[in-house]
Amino acid sequence: MQTVCMISLGCAKNLVNSEQMMGALAAAGYAISPEPEGSDVVIVNTCAFIGPAKQEAIDTLLELGAMKTAGRIGKIVAAGCLAERYRDEIAAELPEVDAFVGVGAFGEIAAAVEGALTGARTALFPPPEECDDSLPRALSSPGAWAYLKIADGCDNRCAFCVVPSIRGKYRSRAEEDILREARELAESGVREVIVIAQDTTRYGLDLYGERRLAGLLRKISEIDGILWIRLHYMYPDDVPEELIRELRDNPKILKYLDIPIQHINDGILKKMRRRGTGAEIRALIARLRAEIPGVVLRTSLITGLPGEGEAEFEELCGFLREAKFERGGVFPYSPEEGTEAFSMERPDSETAYARAEAVEELQSRIMDGFNAERTGKVETVLVEALEDGVYLGRGYAESPDIDGVVVITGENLRIGDFIEVKIIGSDGGDAVAEPVTGGSA
Ligand code: SF4
């Protein structure tokens, strides 16, 4: 049996595509190897969102090229966003890559791999809209949680973002497809589904002529076996009342919302073609805090955007101090060719990086404050791992891979169980807790 290794770079949405490719390859009779070493084919599912992500993808391909030359791996396939965006450049400059799979061709991965193994240099680039989002997946996330992608592409035109030009128009998946996949995930032991798309609040608009996220979440929550639903990537300009009610009243939907705002200054928001104003974002945050007690809010921000002088940056920091997002991620602006903002005047990249560091520091103090406030509270956590004799879990405030963990000081816990813990402190951004009772929730 020939072996294939998948290296998935970039975001959670890309990971779902990697899992679909692994599912298709397993169905076609390939064995999936966790390590590149010794694999007949190594696929890199690349990201091309910003400069550092592109560099990581190129470095990975170059490293694999060296392994191939040394006879340690067989063939190399470049898939996903970087392959899509720079198809000609990669084909010309990386002769060691044996096949190319664009974002519309994940379902054809087996043909590309077969081509590579037989010496053909296959390049598959159908339109992104042709991607079949219902392909079966081979999950790479540990047992109890999985991402559930409800749409692909993006119809927003943020001036700094290259995603719509790579991933194509916004396409909601049919509700019955999503529910079928959610049921399959539950049957395979998944207890937490993490709902993702480039913009989840827009779900349904293209397909049904109306926003249907609230109803979709309700239906997912009716599936036996699913205990937690977590929601990411809500565009802030249109969060309907029905959705807020569902988030507040549905006990399976975690009181955790990820709303990427990017910035708060009106001039920058307008220039970047973001819908809504700073005042509207402030009002939304206040409304969510008032209507959903205990809600944990995550956001993502960009420093050094065109138009960000000292005053605009100070405005952003002041807003963060006041809004107290419990979770936050920040990127220095990366000018991307082909986007509207590329040619706009902007702060130099040193300033953008220094400001990103300052925001990181500010956010880490806010997050420490949040963990301190949690101390003494009893929460449900999902026990996920035992590392060096210590159990690690996650509560409603921790999304996998991006938010840290809950360190549990107990014994004889079962991985995959939901247990009650009391938060007793924090350690470097992680919460520390002790079990209140053992067993499943
Ligand atoms: S909402 Fe804006 S930032 Fe997000 S993927 Fe779409 S265009 Fe990019």
Task: State which ligand 1 atom lies nearest to the alpha carbon of 235.
Answer: 1
CA angle 373–374–375, rounded 5-degree value:
90
Give residue 197 CA to ligand 1 midpoint distance, Å: 10
Q: How far apart are CA 201 and CA 214, in angstroms?
A: 9
Per-residue pLDDT, 136: 85
Listing DSSP states for 62-81 in one string gives HHHHHHHHTTSS-EEEEEEH
Give residue 305 CA to ligand 1 midpoint distance, Å: 15
* Upper half-sphere CA count for residue 410 (Cβ side, 13 Å): 24
DSSP 3-state percent helix, strand, coil across the chain (nearest 5): 40, 25, 40
pLDDT tens string 212-256: 999 999 999 999 999 999 999 999 987 889 999 999 999 999 999
pTM of the model: 0.92
Per-residue pLDDT, 133: 78
For the record, the structure tokens of 137 come out as: 């997946």
Per-residue pLDDT, 84: 92
Left if phi > 0, otherwise alpha if psi is -120 to 50, otherwise beta: which for 440?
beta
Per-residue pLDDT, 441: 43
Q: How far apart are CA 248 and CA 128, in angstroms?
A: 36
Q: Which of 209, 207, 228, 208 is nearest to 217 (CA)?
A: 228
pLDDT tens string 11-28: 899 999 999 999 999 999
Q: Which of 413, 326, 421 is nearest to 376 (CA)?
A: 421
Q: Which of 163, 171, 237, when mutated, tests ligand 1's pocket best, judged by the most ligand atoms within 8 Å of its CB?
A: 163
Give residue 24 CA to ligand 1 midpoint distance, Å: 29
Task: State which ligand 1 atom lies nearest to the alpha carbon of 164.
Answer: 7
Per-residue pLDDT, 411: 86
Q: How far apart are CA 227 and CA 225, in angstroms?
A: 6
φ, ψ for residue 136, nearest 5 deg: -65, 145
Q: Which of 432, 289, 298, 428 is nearest to 364 (CA)?
A: 428
Sheet holding 253-258, edge to edge: 145-149, 192-196, 228-231, 253-258, 296-303, 327-332
Q: Which of 161, 201, 205, 275, when mutated, tests ligand 1's pocket best, judged by the most ligand atoms within 8 Å of its CB?
A: 161
Q: How far apart are CA 180 and CA 30, in angstroms?
A: 25
Per-residue pLDDT, 439: 45
Give residue 32 CA to ligand 1 midpoint distance, Å: 33
Give nearest CA residue, ligand 1 atom 8.
161
Q: Which residues of the chain have pLDDT under 50?
A: 438-441
* Domains assigned to the chain: 3-130 (3.40.50.12160), 145-374 (3.80.30.20), 378-437 (2.40.50.140)
Q: Which of 362, 376, 433 is nearest to 404 (CA)?
A: 433
Give nearest CA residue, ligand 1 atom 2.
158
Give residue 157 CA to ligand 1 midpoint distance, Å: 7
Task: State which ligand 1 atom lies nearest to the alpha carbon of 199.
Answer: 1
Dihedral sign computed on CA atoms, order 167, 342, 308, 47? positive
Dihedral sign computed on CA atoms, order 367, 370, 375, 378? negative
